[in-house]
Amino acid sequence: MNNLIGLPSDKLGLILKLIEKIWNQPEFEKKAKLFLEEYLLPVETVKLAKAKIEQFASKTAMMLSERFEKIIQVHPLPPEFTEWNLAHWATFNFHPVFLPREDIGVNRPLKNWTKTEKWFYDRVSDGKIKPIYPDLPPTLLRGCWHLADFTVSADYTDGSQVFLDDPLAPIIADLRQKKLVGRHNNTSDGSRFSITSDEWQDVVLAHVASKLGVTRAQTRLERAVEFNAIGNLYDPNRGKFNAWEWFEDSVEDSFRLCGGGRDGGGLADVNYDWRDSRYGNFAARPLVSFIR
C-alpha cells in the first residue's frame, strides 16, 4: 500500500474501489490461497535457486579462464537474473552467457577457436566496419552478461525452411499478418528468414524485447564478434548450417554484416549485404545485454 501514497485522491479512490470489488468476489480467499501456493516459491526454494545461479556463474568463470588462458573475472549476476525470469527467458530459448571484455584481434592466439576470416579484420583495419558504440571496436567483446538465443537454425532449401521449434515464430507470424514484416511467396508465416535487417531493427526487436520483458535499448542483433564468440564458447550449433544470419555491425552507410554459413566457413564466415535486402536464406538472432 505504500506505493499508493502521493496519488491524487480521485485515482486513489478508483484503486480502492477496484480492490474492494476483487475482495468481495465469491471464494476470493480460496482462489488467492491457491494462487499463492502455486506461484510464490517457498524461502527454501528461493535459496536453492539462488545457489544454483551463483554456481553457474562460478563455472562460467572457470570455463572462460581456461579458454582464454588467463584469469577471467565474471561480473556479479544482474538483479534481473531471478529464477522466474530465467525460466521465462528459457521458454524462448534465451539463456545467460558472459562475454568478457577481450579483444578477439587478428593476432590474438586462441586455442581451439575458429576465428573470423581475414576479410573481416581487413575491413576493420580500413575503417569500413563501424563500431556500434564509441568504446567498442568491432573486434572487442563488451564484457557483460547477455541473453543469447540458442534456437537451432536450419539448412536453406527453397526458402520455406524454419528454425527448429522456434519460440519466436508466433511473434513473427503476428507481425507478418499485420503487414509489418515482409516475406517471399514460400516463406512460412513465423519464419525468421526473408526478413530484412531494417525490419529486424525497426519492428521485430521491439516485439521480442516486449515478450522477454526487457527494454528495446537492451536488445539488438548479435555483432559478428559476438556470434563468433558465442559459437566458440557456448553454442555448438552455430555455423553448422548453410543459411546466413544478419549481424548488428554496419558497413559504411548502406550495408550490414552477415555470415555464419557453413559453406563459407561457419563461425569464420563474415560478409556484407544491403541492409534492406530480403533473402530467403538470411535469418537473425536477438541479443539482450545487461550493461553495468
Does the pLDDT of residue 232 top 70, yes or no?
A: yes
Secondary structure class of 171 (helix, strand, coil): helix
- Length, in residues, of the chain: 292
pLDDT band, very low/low/confident/very high, at 4 (cuts 50, 70, 90) = very low
Does the pLDDT of residue 99 top 90, yes or no?
A: yes
Secondary structure class of 130 (helix, strand, coil): strand
Question: Of 209, 202, 246, 192, which Cα lies nearest the Cα of 224?
Answer: 246
Does the pLDDT of residue 225 top 60, yes or no?
A: yes
Pair 137, 124: CB distance under 8 Å:
yes
Q: pLDDT tens digits, residue range 145-159?
A: 999 999 999 999 999
Please list, in sequence order, all residues whose beta carbon lies within 8 angstroms of the beta carbon of residue 122, skipping any fewer than 6 positions away: none
Mean pLDDT, to the nearest integer, of 186-194? 97
Look at residue 20 in the predicted model and tell me its pLDDT: 55
Please list, in sequence order, all residues whose beta carbon lies within 8 angstroms of the beta carbon of residue 259, skipping any fewer than 6 positions away: 116, 224, 227, 244, 245, 247, 269, 270, 271
As a whole number of angstroms, the distance between CA 275 and CA 137 comes to 20
Look at residue 9 in the predicted model and tell me its pLDDT: 47
Mean pLDDT, to the nearest integer, of 97-122? 96
Average pLDDT of the chain, as a whole number: 89
Look at residue 260 in the predicted model and tell me its pLDDT: 98
Q: Which of 22-31, 101-110, 128-137, 279-288 has the lowest average pLDDT?
A: 22-31
Please list, in sequence order, all residues whose beta carbon lies within 8 angstroms of the beta carbon of residue 75, skipping any fewer than 6 positions away: 98, 143, 144, 145, 292
Q: pLDDT tens digits, residue range 266-275?
A: 999 999 999 9
Look at residue 200 in the predicted model and tell me its pLDDT: 98
Secondary structure class of 64 (helix, strand, coil): helix
Question: Of 64, 99, 96, which Cα lies nearest the Cα of 83?
Answer: 96
Look at residue 29 in the predicted model and tell me its pLDDT: 59
Q: pLDDT tens digits, residue range 36-76?
A: 444 554 555 555 566 788 899 999 999 999 999 999 999 99
Look at residue 44 in the predicted model and tell me its pLDDT: 57
Q: Name the amino acid, one letter, at 235.
A: D
Does the pLDDT of residue 24 top 70, yes or no?
A: no
Look at residue 6 in the predicted model and tell me its pLDDT: 43
Name the more confident of 253 and 80: 80
Secondary structure class of 28 (helix, strand, coil): helix
Greatest Cα-to-Cα distance within the chain, rounded to the nearest angstrom: 71
Q: Which of 18-32, 145-159, 172-186 has the lowest average pLDDT?
A: 18-32
Look at residue 104 in the predicted model and tell me its pLDDT: 98
Number of H helices, E strands in the chain: 9, 9
As a whole number of angstroms, the distance between CA 165 and CA 139 comes to 32
Look at residue 292 in the predicted model and tell me its pLDDT: 85
Look at residue 2 in the predicted model and tell me its pLDDT: 38
